[in-house]
Chains A and B, each alone.
Chain A
């Protein structure tokens, strides 16, 4: 199957593979510990671990946009911030 029209590049392929791996990890996590581990965190409403992943991914996208707008096109610092943000979301939210 010719996928040339999709214009794949190595960085974007790595990006999507990471997203799919995260989803796979979430499925395995759910199989090991069913129920989604709902809890009320600092946002004062109940979130499951799926919600926390969504908040992490959406927040990471905005963090990177902010980095692009105010710092520049190099996103390694943004990636580091996203990891810290993910840790914060999964422990505090």
Chain B
């Protein structure tokens, strides 16, 4: 029997299409228009062609911000993914500890970005902050307003504190979905703790880990509020990530043309990475799900 296609379904998605058109497509079109022009305000624009793109692609400032962004995302993934797995493995599977751990894990995720930034900005201060003052008392020069390494450490630890919980919760959900028969079979075979992790838990966590990597990479690649509140991109430009540089250019300097060109390149990088992650995830989904024991 031939499958019937109901075209009325399109009416149902029409509101969503309109919303996407209004809040995504039209602004994107405007950014493309701005990227080939120069403006001095008062809605007056002058044709600039591809010059902003050429200037940006040869700009050391852009290369440095992009490099910092990639390094930051790589560090975040290298810390948060293994740490999230370890914490999820250590969490209890039954009893009163489960809701307690889940609530504790969910707490950092409920705090708004700017509040997280403010918390860590105060926490790290050498005069009144618990962390900064304690480290200073121990003789460690931890001044994130003057030392680039201290600033990077603060931003990284802050992100780890804020977002590792997401990885933990995803991994915990993945671990909870593994049927008990796998563990029973492993016990009969006398498998070690490492063997259980390597051959049962890790393969079963593959999909949630891919989602975790995708979410954390995208989030960390677009990070703005937290480092802006803590360091403002400093000291110098040491924590000026791509998004901070973009806002400085667009709002601080009112260079709408170069900022629009930068936005488009930023958008293309994120689009490419999303597509790669999506393709990898789709390929994982297509693979036959055979038993591991």
Contact = CB atoms under 8 A, between A and B. Distances in A.
The B contact surface, by secondary structure, is helix
A22 B122 CA distance: 53
Contact of A69 (B26, B45, B58, B272): B58
A68 B53 contact: yes
B33 A8 contact: yes
B146 interface: no
A73 B54 contact: yes
Contacts of B53: 65, 68, 73
Contacts of A72: 54
Nearest to A67: B50
A12 B33 contact: yes
B43 A16 contact: no
A62 B53 CA distance: 12
Contact of A7 (B26, B30, B268, B283): B30
Interface centre among A7, A45, A58, by most B CB within 10 Å?
Answer: A7
A80 B201 CA distance: 50
A62 B275 contact: no
Contacts, number: 59
A29 interface: no
Interface stretch (B34-42, B81-89, B96-104, B189-197): B34-42
Q: How large is the interface on A (under 10, 10 to 19, 20 to 34, 35 or more residues)?
A: 20 to 34
Given A65-B265, A68-B53, A6 B272 contact: no
Chain B interface extent, by class? 20 to 34
29 contacts: A4-B43, A7-B33, A7-B39, A7-B43, A8-B33, A9-B37, A9-B45, A9-B47, A12-B29, A15-B32, A16-B32, A45-B279, A45-B282, A45-B286, A46-B286, A58-B272, A62-B268, A62-B272, A68-B50, A68-B53, A68-B54, A68-B57, A69-B54, A69-B57, A69-B58, A72-B54, A73-B49, A73-B53, A73-B54
Pairs of residues from A and B, 5 with the lowest C-beta to C-beta distance, nearest first = A73-B50, A69-B57, A7-B33, A7-B45, A6-B30
Interface of B: 26, 29-30, 32-34, 36-37, 39, 43, 45, 47, 49-51, 53-54, 57-58, 265, 268, 271-272, 275, 279, 282-283, 286
